[in-house]
Amino acid sequence: MKLVAKRPCCFGGRKFYIGDEVPRDLVLDPASQEKLGVLSVLKDREGPAGTFTRGQVDGMVAEAVTGLAMTDAFAGGEITLAEPCVGIMIREDPAGVVHAAPEEIRQVFAIMQANADEGVRMIAEVTDENILILLHVADSRKTIKNAARERAERLFPAREEDPEAGETADAGTSEGGSAT
């Protein structure tokens, strides 16, 4: 039986945070702490309601990566880990997924958190199509939407505009052109 903190708590003078395992000998009455919502009492491998502790998840990920490496090694290939990216669905069709790297997502949020005038200045320096697409789709301010669309038209003038995303799913890049 394991005890896992459901909220920040302190037992035996030691602090525990959400997901930390609390030693059994520090808790006098685990059942009452569970009723109060401070701890979860875990039996065997599975967590409460199908959840897992941080250590269990790390172990499962390590096993999956090892299994992937073994599978690929038997296939005679080499494993190369690419830069992580997140697929963000902006439309229902398969072409409506934007794959953005963490740095691109950070830049999108930085622009969205800026005021409108500062956001327009920041967009003028953007050269990445994914950032412009995400800004056009996610930001509700008209000045930001227009600035992202105009910047995309200047950077990628040969493309036809997609009415739902404000950009196209085509992946070429070119510099130059004029804004319309």
Measuring CA to CA, which residue among 166, 146, 170 is closest to residue 158? Answer: 170
Query: pLDDT per residue over 29-62, tens digit each?
Result: 888 898 989 999 887 655 445 567 777 777 777 7
Q: Which residues, listed in sequence order, are joined to residue 30 by a DSSP beta bridge?
A: none
Out of 7-21, 45-59, 63-77, 145-159, least confident range:
63-77
Calpha distance 81→95 (Å, rounded): 24
Query: pLDDT per residue over 62-110, tens digit each?
Result: 776 665 544 444 445 554 545 677 777 777 766 677 778 888 888 999 9
Helix or strand or coil: residue 10?
A: strand
What are the domain boundaries of the chain? Answer: 1-80, 86-155
* 83, burial (CB in 10 Å: exposed 0-12, middle 13-18, buried 19+): exposed
Calpha distance 115→121 (Å, rounded): 10
Helix or strand or coil: residue 28?
A: coil
pTM of the model: 0.44
Cα–Cα distances (Å) from 7 to 17, 25, 39, in that order, read: 6, 19, 7
- Residue linked to tokens 């030693």: 23
